[in-house]
Amino acid sequence: MNNKQILSYIIIFAVAIVGIFIVKDMVIQPSTSPSPSISPTPSPTSSASPTTSPVGNVVPKCWLTGEIVYDGSVFMHSGAQEFNYKDMDDPHDIINWVLSPSGETFSIGPNRASGLKLPKGSDYLTVSFEGLNPKYDKYELTASIDYVAVIDNAAKILNEKCSGKTTLIIDK
pLDDT band at 138 (very low <50, low <70, confident <90, very high): very high
Q: Which of 9-18, 32-41, 104-113 has the highest mean pLDDT?
A: 104-113
Domain membership of residue 166 (yes or no) is yes
Domain membership of residue 133 (yes or no) is yes
Domain membership of residue 117 (yes or no) is yes
Average pLDDT over residues 18-44: 44
What pLDDT is attached to residue 82? 87
Domain membership of residue 9 (yes or no) is yes
pTM (2 d.p.) = 0.64
Domain membership of residue 41 (yes or no) is no
Question: Would you say residue 44 has pLDDT above 60?
Answer: no
Going by C-beta distance under 8 Å and a sequence separation of 6 or more, which residues neighbour residue 99?
106, 108, 139, 140, 141
As a whole number of angstroms, the distance between CA 35 and CA 41 comes to: 14
Range of the domain at 162: 3-29+53-170
As a whole number of angstroms, the distance between CA 140 and CA 99 comes to: 6
Domain membership of residue 90 (yes or no) is yes
Domain membership of residue 22 (yes or no) is yes
- The count of domains in the chain is 1
